[in-house]
A = this chain, B = another copy of it.
Amino acid sequence: MSGEFHPPARILMGPGPSNVDPRVLMAMAKPLVGHLDPEFFKIMSSLQDLLRYIFSTKNVQTLPISGTGSAGMEAAFVNVVEPGDRVLVCVNGVFGERMADVAERCGANLRTLSAPWGKAFDLAAVEKELRNFQPKVLAIVHAETSTGVLQPLEEFPKILKNHPDTLLLVDAVTSLGGHPVKVDEWGVDICYSGTQKCLSCPPGLAPITFSQKAMEKTKGRAKKVQSLYLDMIMLGKYWGSERTYHHTAPISMNYALLEALRIVSEEGLERRYERHRRNHLALVAGIEAMGLSMFAEKSYRLWSLNTVSIPAGIDDAKVRKTLLEEYNLEIGGGLGNLKGKIWRVGLMGHSSSETNVLYFLTALEQTLRAQGFEVPRGAGATAAKEFYSRK
């Protein structure tokens, strides 16, 4: 009915999936064991240890959800939000909008706080809304994949200390493993991510962590969690010492995640962050030298996802098609309001490399010139190379 599939060897510089180390691909080819095999339990424990390291947390309830990042988002909300609970969602992009949508589907009494797309939230504005609304849950995106904005969270413990009953829920899909994510230090109660971004594991799992306070809210619910599949109490009994069957864990995906997290720990988080930072800055230097400009506000740019404003007169779809077909290179287009206005260039995990920065700048220059956009020859790559040589 269909022939064998031979995927092209893409250079993945979109909003995820990122390229993965061959070690991770090979890990999935290992023979299956059962989800209740004592040998698999060992993997589960190693995964939890490594995830706690990467989330910078001591939370017992730290595990990979058996679904992609969107399932992680849903797991975060369905467990702690009860119908009628006041939930404040900060929206400055598509994934903030989506959090609001998910909260509503849980029956939340929802209020949203908006900031312009491309900018981060001001701490004072969040604090004011916290005081006014007194929410049970404050939800915010750490790394907004649709805009390329990083939301600083270091100061959140200050504004939350007067709200002991509010849970802080954070989307770290595009930051975990590429930017510091300090769950315990920042007072984050629920944090979720995806595997296919800065962790450089194929998509299919969603690392998540719940604080003791978040688990108490979950356990104190009047009614069961609306999703059995994402019920953290049941999941905790499978991932905890009881080892009670809940669902058949995706064995091969867990092999892949273990190998990906081992690679992260071999590199070390600090070195990994610095690599992401450097490659981001080199890319920005190149983009600006080409006469283009970045979309996200300068002080709040993600290192992992770089948003570039599309110059007037340039055909977004045509550029991306050319990059894919002629250069084997994937970048992302804009989502929602930003469709046709920005490109999203991922430098995540394994894909965050000097090679990729130089190749992308070169390919983009060629492609833009073919559309009549004047770029000084080699300007982008030269600026990036100069940046690298400086440090």
Q: Which residues of A contact B (CB under 8 A)?
A: 1-2, 4-10, 12, 14, 16-17, 19-20, 25-39, 42-43, 46, 49-50, 53, 66-71, 73-74, 98, 101-102, 104-106, 194, 196, 202-204, 224-229, 245-253, 255-256, 258-259, 262, 265, 324, 330, 335
Report the copy number of this chain in the oligomer.
Answer: 2
Taking a contact as CB atoms closer than 8 A, the residue among B66, B74, B101 that contacts A68 in the complex is: B66
Residues in B with CB closer than 8 Å to A335 are 245
Q: Which of B2, B19, B74 contacts A32 (CB 8 A)?
A: B19
Query: Which residues on the B side are within 8 Å of A53 (C-beta)?
Result: 1
Known: A5-B255, A70-B229. A14 touches B34 (CB 8 A): yes
Are A204 and B74 also in contact (CB < 8 A) when A33-B7, A34-B12 are? no
- The reply to whether A69 and B248 contact each other, CB–CB distance below 8 Å, is yes
- Knowing A7-B30, A204-B250, A252-B256, the reply to whether A1 touches B228 (Cβ < 8 A) is no
Q: A5-B46, A9-B31 are in contact. List 12 more A-B contacts (CB 8 A).
A: A1-B265, A2-B258, A6-B30, A26-B29, A32-B202, A68-B249, A70-B228, A101-B224, A104-B224, A105-B228, A204-B250, A252-B253
Docked CA distance A249–B19 (Å):
15
Contact B7 A202 (CB under 8 A): no
Which 4 residue pairs are nearest across A and B when measured between Cβ atoms?
A204-B250, A2-B46, A28-B28, A70-B247
CA distance A34 to B29 in the complex (A): 20
Point out the residues of chain B lying under 8 angstroms from A229, CB to CB. Answer: 67, 70-71, 73-74
Q: Which of B30, B225, B253 contacts A105 (CB 8 A)?
A: B225
Q: Is the Cβ of B35 less than 8 Å from the Cβ of A101?
A: no
CB < 8 Å neighbour of A71 from B27, B29, B67, B259? B67
Cα distance A105–B233 in the bound complex, in angstroms? 15
Show 20 residue pairs from A and B whose CB-CB distance is below 8 angstroms, ordered by the A residue: A1-B53, A2-B50, A5-B30, A5-B258, A7-B31, A7-B32, A7-B255, A8-B31, A10-B31, A10-B34, A17-B34, A17-B35, A19-B31, A20-B32, A28-B29, A33-B330, A66-B68, A68-B248, A70-B246, A105-B225
Q: Per a CB cutoff under 8 Å, which of B1, B38, B42, B203 touches A250?
A: B203
Alpha-carbon separation in the docked complex, A174 to B330 (Å): 38
Taking the closest CB of chain B, its distance from the CB of A115, in whole angstroms, is 22
- The docked-state distance in angstroms from the alpha carbon of A32 to that of B69 is 17
Say whether, besides A7-B39, A251-B203, A98 and B228 are in contact (CB < 8 Å): yes
